[in-house]
Amino acid sequence: MSIPVSEAYAASYRAREVPAPAQVIEGVWAVAVPLHGSALRAVTVFLIESHAGLILIDAGYDHPSCWASFQRSLTAIGRTVEAISTVLITHNHPDHVGFADRVRAASGARVLMGAADDFAAMHRVRGAFLDQLGTALDLTGAPQDVVDGMYADAVKVAEHHETLRLDATLPGADLDLDFGDVTIRAVPTPGHTYGHTVYYDTRGLVFTGDTMMAEGPTQLAIVSRPGDDPAGDLFASLDRIRDLGATVACPAHQFPYHDVAARAEQLKAFHQAEVDRVRDLMSAGSTAWDVARRMPWKKPWDDLGRGTRRFSLVHTLALLRSARNAPRRADGC
């Protein structure tokens, strides 16, 4: 189990509460923003003080309650929206890009994100989120009535407003961003999305977005193109994070924690075991639909909720890609 930086912050998370703003190290604040209408409860954004102004990592939902909560938290720690000069977004999911435009309107901040997650580029290459999901469901080999029902359910809960315009995109290679007294390295880490980026503060912190939580697995990116292998991407990304030398991980959910390298290895082993399990269950003509219903989920397949079945099916498709792309390794890694 990961070692929390703050026991109080972790206790709030485990009690299903929204933690109060907390200092991770001097000049770095964790600010939990409640997520309106989401089972996730909150996303943690981070504020980094620098000579070039405040740097904001991620930006909650685009909902008035999220924006109001963020502003109240800033007031509580003696900071203002107007002092934010840069918004660094880990990936393009709605609980991370939401109020970036509001910050930019208030302060003139520059908004940056990985090039592959830039909505305009993503739409050209992959299509919108729901288009990708529809393609993935078709690729699972599930019966058409199952595909249609799962897609209809997703449309009802979709919160993807894919219009954010970036001031700059980050390349698919490491890039050091200089903020005077603070240097932050943007490190491409696909797996959760294809343009996911973690941000390494050279003082020893890594802001991991949704790639590496303190507890639990990583949600894999949606498979929609022939070359997609998000599990393989994730394994390489976890190696990159492990080797950064960070002493503290700051994920977008749950709580900041120590033992970064050990957590990267633990998470990699978990997902490798999933890939190996899929490999054991599949045969030459197996589809994700065939395999998913035989996987050892927390409940039997027929007892899973409709949304959980959809997630599990798409997740299995990603695992199946990896199982077919690489042989089982003797060391399980």
**Which tens digits make up the pLDDT trace of 34-93?**
987 666 788 999 999 999 999 999 999 998 999 999 999 999 999 999 999 999 999 999
Q: Model-level pTM?
A: 0.95
Residues in the chain: 333
58: exposed, middle or buried (Cβ count in 10 Å: 0-12, 13-18, 19+): buried
Say if CB 14 and CB 254 are below 8 A apart.
no
Tokens coding 264: 């990267």
- With bands split at pLDDT 50, 70 and 90, how would you rate the model's confidence at 329? low
Q: What is the DSSP letter of 126?
A: T
Per-residue pLDDT of 85-124, as tens digits, reads: 999 999 999 999 999 999 999 999 999 999 999 999 999 9
Q: Residue 201 CA to chain centroid, in angstroms? A: 18
The CA distance from 124 to 126, in Å, is 6
Helix (H, G, I), strand (E, B) or coil at 224: coil
pLDDT of res. 37: 65
Q: Which domains does the chain have, with CATH numbers?
A: 7-276 (3.60.15.10)
Burial track 308-326 (b if 16+ CB lie within 10 A, e otherwise): ebbbbbbbbbbbbbbbeee
Q: What percent of the chain has pLDDT over 70?
A: 96
